[in-house]
Amino acid sequence: MSNSSQILTPDITIDITNDVCPMTFVKTRLKLEKMTPGQILEVILKDGEPLKNVPRSVTEMGDVVLDLTKMANDTGTYRLTIRKN
């Protein structure tokens, strides 16, 4: 995970801030399965279990976490950027 200054343009964005584990990862996984290799998925998620589990699970499944950044306008929301492998 890096907090790079490079702005990545996602192909798809999903918001899982209203979901709880394990649905946070399930929704992320289902979206990734529909994507083609090289595409970028942006996931908006909350602090806590989703922030801990989704990036780890994505990496374990073989996709690449490109960036994880706390959103400036909110105290508990993060932007996770993933490249489909």
SS3 string, the chain, reads: CCCCCCCCCCCEEEECCCCCCCHHHHHHHHHHHCCCCCCEEEEEEECCHHHHHHHHHHHHCCCEEEEEEECCCCCCEEEEEEECC
Q: Which residues does the annotation mark as catalytic?
A: 21
